[in-house]
Amino acid sequence: MLERSYSGVDSKAACTAVAHDLSLKTLFGVETSLAYHPEIIALLNRAKELASILAFNVSLISPLFSILQSVSDVLYGKLLKLRKLVLDEIDNQLKSNQQPHQELPFSTYMVLRNRRDNEGEQKIFRHVHEVFVTAGHTVASKLSNTICFLAVLPDIQERAWQEQYEIFGNDIRDPTIEELSQMKFLDRFLKESFRFLGPPFLGKEATADINVDGITIPRGAIVVYLLRYIKLHPKYWNNPNIFDPDRFLDENDYLKFSYSPFGIGIRNCPGEYYGTIFLKIALSKMLRRIKFRPVEKDFRFEDIKFKSYLFLEVDNPPKLQIEKRT
């Protein structure tokens, strides 16, 4: 319970714990305090850096995965305990699934599908691990970075809070789906945040020969879109380096291709709805309770530096002063 204020808060560590805790509950049906253990948080953040290296060097995935398996007991410590909890819970759900229409966690449906298709246990484990890491890391990264934006953009933060006040007054209850749909400014804030924070590139395979400005891209070629540059290109955006949620008041067709934080087409990110709803609920509850500002008072949005991991992230997040709203 926040009494007055806290100074020097590391939002990245806090958001990593909260996001993975929620993904464990919602996607795996697991409740545990391990998500908040410092060792777990540190390992999850290192996993992000490793995954970023592999994303650019896919030939390393198989040999490196084999090496990590052989030394996992030494490297992963409490993360192995967390993994066992997840896998045990999935097994329990499968054993107790007597009713054909019983609602189960997403991970259980995933394992049921894999076993129906006669996939090996090792592949099932890799799928479970992938969902856990990607779901938790994605929302943790977006949440900690959007909090950073709110802290260094006080006018934007005030507008976001004002919208919450108009919907809820002084009520701090959880929002309903209908109330989430009323948060138009928060929607625009998140869209503008994703313009700075989305994946740095997007890969697609050409399904046919394509002619682009006289150059033929052959069928089967991998085409990489450098989204980081498209989303900040003055050809597509007015004042692209300025953080302006209101640029999304008038959404034109060109945004379909110059703005794609969750990918494009049938293989876009399956977690788009989950991630967006998570962020709206989390930010709604925080904005109604607390204010953010950087401890270093002169820190501005223009001072933020970005780095490419699996996503673009703030590389120099300021420590935050968190104050209770009165």
116-125: which pairs have CB atoms within 8 A and are 24 or more residues apart? Answer: 125/87
Spatial distance between the Cα atoms of 259 and 75, rounded to a whole number of angstroms: 39
CA angle 162, 172, 289 (to 5 degrees): 60
Three-state helix/strand/coil letters over the chain: CCCCEEEEECHHHHHHHHHHHHHHHHHHCCCCHHHHCHHHHHHHHHHHHHHHHHHHCHHHHHHHHHHHHHCHHHHHCHHHHHHHHHHHHHHHHHHHCCCCCCCCCHHHHHHHHHHHCCCCHHHHHHHHHHHHHHHHHHHHHHHHHHHHHHHHCHHHHHHHHHHHHHHHCCCCCCCCHHHHHCCHHHHHHHHHHHHHHCCCCEEEECCCCEEECCEEECCCCEEEECHHHHCCCCCCCCCCCCCCHHHHHCCCCCHHHHCCCCCCCCCCCCCHHHHHHHHHHHHHHHHHHEEEEECCCCCCHHHCCEEECCCEEECCCCCEEEEECC
Say whether 269 counts as a known binding-site residue.
yes
Q: Which residues are annotated as a binding site for heme?
A: 269
